[in-house]
Amino acid sequence: MTAHLSTTTHQVTAAKALAPFAQPVADMNEGCLAALKAIGTISRFGRNETIFSEGDQASYSFKIVSGAVRLYKLLPDGRRQIAEFRLAGDFFGMEAAAEYALTAEALSDAVVVRYARNRLDRLEDEQVNLRRDLLNLLRRDLSAAQTHLIMLGRQTAKERIASFLVQLAERQNATDGSSVEVPMGRQDMADYLGLTIETVCRAISDLKRARVIAIPDRHHIVVRDMDALQSVADGDI
Amino acid sequence: MTAHLSTTTHQVTAAKALAPFAQPVADMNEGCLAALKAIGTISRFGRNETIFSEGDQASYSFKIVSGAVRLYKLLPDGRRQIAEFRLAGDFFGMEAAAEYALTAEALSDAVVVRYARNRLDRLEDEQVNLRRDLLNLLRRDLSAAQTHLIMLGRQTAKERIASFLVQLAERQNATDGSSVEVPMGRQDMADYLGLTIETVCRAISDLKRARVIAIPDRHHIVVRDMDALQSVADGDI
DNA sequence: CGTCTGATTGAGCGACTTCAACATATGTGG
DNA sequence: CCACATATGTTGAAGTCGCTCAATCAGACG
């Protein structure tokens, strides 16, 4: 493993200020970051604006400076499955081959850095470290997707919701009593968890009624008892 | 994309002879293959034998010569989600970081080539192409996982079964009337599709009753009407 | 032949969905 | 600032798909 801490100024401040999730960002070493910075251009997207669509030529990869992004697939009849939420500090579109396999939309107003794929590819050829970092990024994505799979395939609605909230809380290093930001709406949660919006609402209400969490407003939850929440996530009822 | 056709003798013959799926194998160029061959050692596993377990130190990566492998995760209470089936010609364990994220078991008696990770890593440092190929391998895995996600999150039982059978058939280039090998049992299918074995049976029986497929025996299906099967997969009933 | 494993079918139940009503923001124009 | 509109979220009642439990079947093998 060749991971190094990433510490350029703009991304860290952005992460602190706006990152709803404080999970470890894709680690990049200094040389790579400097090189990346040189080829990136800033770009802005409004809430629900499409950044790229499934099937588009994958001409760019991205890194989020502030805001958040949903990555999803649609079935022909409109059913939607969100594969990932990406947050400040995260990369996305790196995993694409010739065409994007997912659609990317801004969850909220977002500022991103755009990297031209051809320049990125050239950089990769030159810098072994960049290629290695990219490999590790993909490994993480794959691992996350596998965790997501068992969630959708083998967990109950309550377990999925609780697992999701645990993930949110952990990425923000939340402890009992601290407020956790929920950047996505209920429909987004439902489409990520393979449920309906009603089921999501009910499960959240149940957790609230059981005093495991509190809901100050739609976009925040307070974890009152992390152990209990984890137990629900694990199916220990 | 830097993919080249792989044409070493042993793997192609193995694929022809035993591959239940004839999907494009991870493409590797000649140089990489020769180098890989030099560091690989043959290894055999019996039916249901564990090749590695989730959490083990990831000391080796593998390529299947013959047979098939299931890759899965378990929940603490024993619920199982199969993430992938791997078949003759396929690599697995390449995606692992320090530890394996999944458990690998032989679906049937299997012959595999084992590559020591430290030697593999050294090869990657030396050969740009190998790293590039590995990257593409991971991209495919990720893309497959995302397709699997929408299956589990947003498709009905019938759609999942039909989609699965279409996948099987396509990988074997099956046309209407040709027999498709089904290397895994019903429980494996269920754990891949996030269903119970009974639901899998019933859905298959329904397709048989509708004359969309025929079932000569447990490990074979005949696609009688691929268009109809695809329609079921797409939810066009 | 009996046993064992895996597959199939049936009956009843329950978790999640669907449909519907209502509530709570957020924003807009007067 | 209020009246109204729209989007999002919440709750209830009824329906259904897939699960659970249970019995039976089919092939493999000693």
Tokens of A154: 């083998």
Quick one: pLDDT band at residue A8, thresholds 50, 70, 90? very low
Percent of chain B predicted with pLDDT > 70: 86
Tokens of A156: 């109950």
pLDDT for A60: 97
Would the Cβ of B195 be found within 7 angstroms of any atom in strand D? yes
HSE-CB of B187 using CA atoms within 13 angstroms: 4
Q: Is the pLDDT of residue B8 over 50?
A: no
pLDDT for B17: 34
Within 8 A of B135 by CB-CB distance, chain A residues are 131, 134-135, 138
Q: What are phi and psi of B92, to 5 degrees?
A: -155, 160
CA distance B30 to B122: 18
Whether A135 and B134 lie within 8 Å, measured CB to CB: yes
Quick one: pLDDT band at residue B129, thresholds 50, 70, 90? confident
Start-end of H helices in chain B: 9-18, 30-39, 117-126, 128-154, 157-171, 186-193, 197-209, 226-233
Which residues of B lie inside 8 Å of A (Cβ-Cβ)?
1, 73, 75-77, 79-81, 83, 95-98, 101-102, 125, 128, 131-132, 134-136, 138-139, 141-143, 145-150, 152-155, 191, 193-194, 234-235
Would the Cβ of A236 be found within 7 angstroms of any atom in strand C? no
Whether B235 and A148 lie within 8 Å, measured CB to CB: no
Average pLDDT of the segment spanning A221-225: 97
Angle CA(B129)–CA(B131)–CA(B136) in degrees, nearest 5? 95
Min mean pLDDT across A140-154, B27-41, B222-236 is at B27-41
Quick one: pLDDT band at residue B36, thresholds 50, 70, 90? confident
Q: Are strands B50-52 and B103-106 parallel, antiparallel or unpaired?
A: antiparallel
Q: How many residues does chain B have?
A: 237
Q: Is the pLDDT of residue B32 over 80?
A: no
pLDDT for B35: 76
Q: How many CB atoms lie within 10 A of CB B160?
A: 25
CB-nearest to B95 from A73, A96, A139 is: A139
Would the Cβ of B186 be found within 7 angstroms of any atom in strand C? yes
Q: Is the pLDDT of residue A11 over 50?
A: no
Residue A161 identity: I
CA distance B30 to B93: 21
Quick one: pLDDT band at residue A97, thresholds 50, 70, 90? confident
Place of tokens 């009624």: A209
Quick one: pLDDT band at residue A124, thresholds 50, 70, 90? confident
CA B107 from centroid of its chain's CA atoms: 11
Quick one: closest CA in A to B150, which residue? Answer: A81
Q: Which of chain D's bases lie under 7 Å from a protein CB?
A: 8-13, 17-22, 27
Tokens of B17: 């002879």
Whether A136 and B97 lie within 8 Å, measured CB to CB: yes
Decide if B65 contacts B171 (C-beta within 8 A). no
pLDDT digits (tens, 9 = 90+) for A191-220: 999 999 999 999 999 999 999 999 999 999
CB-nearest to B194 from A102, A139, A153 is: A153
Angle CA(B234)–CA(A72)–CA(A195) in degrees, nearest 5? 70
- Distance from A62 to chain B by nearest Cα, in Å? 16
Min mean pLDDT across A54-63, B4-13, B69-78, B186-195 is at B4-13
Percent of chain B predicted with pLDDT > 90: 75
**Strand order through the sheet with A91-92:** A40-45, A110-116, A60-66, A91-92
CB-nearest to A142 from B145, B155, B194 is: B145
Would the Cβ of A199 be found within 7 angstroms of any atom in strand C? yes
Q: What are phi and psi of B223, to 5 degrees?
A: -85, 110
pLDDT for B138: 94
HSE-CB of B139 using CA atoms within 13 angstroms: 22
Tokens of B94: 């390449």
pLDDT for B197: 98
CA distance B177 to A141: 39
Tokens of B171: 């990988």
- Distance from A58 to chain B by nearest Cα, in Å? 12
CA distance A191 to A6: 32
| Buried b or exposed e, range A4-22, using 16+ CB within 10 angstroms | eebeeeebbebbeebbbbb
pLDDT for A30: 67
Within 8 A of A102 by CB-CB distance, chain B residues are 146
